[in-house]
Amino acid sequence: MEIKTLKNYKELSSTVADIVEYTLTLPEPKLILPTGSTPLGLYKELVNRQLDWSTTTTYNLDEYVDNTIQNQSYRYFMMENLFKHINMDDDNIYFSGDTAVWPDLSYGTEVDLCLLGIGGNGHIAFNEPGSSFESETRMVDLTEETIKDNSRFFPSINDVPTQAVTMGLKPIMSSKKIILMANGKHKKDILEQAMYGDITENIPASVLQTHTNMETFYCD
């Protein structure tokens, strides 16, 4: 598994934007999308390119449970940074937090492209260390490390929700193509462990080594 190191964050964002742009030319494309700070440049670039999203369906990876800070929901993040700027049909936007769509997010969805970031402890979506590689979409407890990492987006650490709904590792792995993005030196060590180390449920992202159509892009 190769980690492709790009010049800078701009190049990381535009490289992944090229792959998304190609995917949008497929018939009725289906994409899984992440939140976090890493995809922000990508979403900006995609908005600037004014692409046609009219036949696209998207599934978001995860959402907090019982979040009281309204503008920190992942739904809000996606609306603000992507959906309100593109011509997506609202009916084709799915969020993991909507329990009604869990079955869709667990079984048989033919996803063309899944985009991922990586958490400091090797989580993908909110599949924390110890998550089964066979896990389906479900509600999970967040680890202390993740709560601490994500507290930078909240007024205080006490405002960070302790639970989330996450797409499982199994539906993520059933995507036809997966791109993992990591931005910053602080991600390098966990990224190398995930891509070059043992395949272990202690580092959920390590399961990606077993995918046959997967690329990893990094910049520091």
Q: Which residues bind ligand GLP (CB under 6 A)?
A: 34-38, 61-62, 117-119, 125-126, 146, 150
Structure tokens at 165: 């709904």
| Minimum CB distance to ligand GLP smaller for 30 or for 187 | 187
**Using the 8-state DSSP alphabet, how is residue 36 labeled?**
S
Active-site entry in 63, 128, 149, 215: 128
CB of 146 to ligand GLP, least distance (A): 6
Active-site entry in 92, 104, 121, 145: 121
Cα–chain center distance at 10: 18
| Minimum CB distance to ligand GLP smaller for 24 or for 140 | 140
Q: What are the residues whose beta carbons fall under 8 Å from the beta carbon of 192, sequence distance 6 or more?
A: 3
Cα separation, 192 vs 194, whole angstroms: 5
CB of 150 to ligand GLP, least distance (A): 6
CB of 74 to ligand GLP, least distance (A): 8
Active-site entry in 45, 60, 62, 201: 62
| Minimum CB distance to ligand GLP smaller for 25 or for 182 | 182
**Using the 8-state DSSP alphabet, how is residue 8 labeled?**
S
Told to judge if 158 belongs to the known catalytic residues of this protein, a careful annotator would answer: no
| Minimum CB distance to ligand GLP smaller for 33 or for 88 | 33
Told to judge if 121 belongs to the known catalytic residues of this protein, a careful annotator would answer: yes
CB of 136 to ligand GLP, least distance (A): 17
Cα–chain center distance at 74: 11
User: Which residue from 176, 177, 171, 180 is spatially nearest to 203, judged by alpha carbons?
Assistant: 180
CB of 213 to ligand GLP, least distance (A): 20
| Minimum CB distance to ligand GLP smaller for 29 or for 39 | 39
The widest CA-to-CA distance across the chain, in whole angstroms, is 45
Told to judge if 128 belongs to the known catalytic residues of this protein, a careful annotator would answer: yes
Told to judge if 18 belongs to the known catalytic residues of this protein, a careful annotator would answer: no
> Which helix (DSSP H) or strand (DSSP E) does residue 93 occupy?
strand 93-95
Active-site entry in 63, 67, 123, 183: 123
Q: Determine contact, residues 195/209, Cβ cutoff 8 Å.
A: yes
Strand order through the sheet with 163-166: 62-65, 163-166, 138-141
- Point out the residues that are catalytic: 62, 121, 123, 128
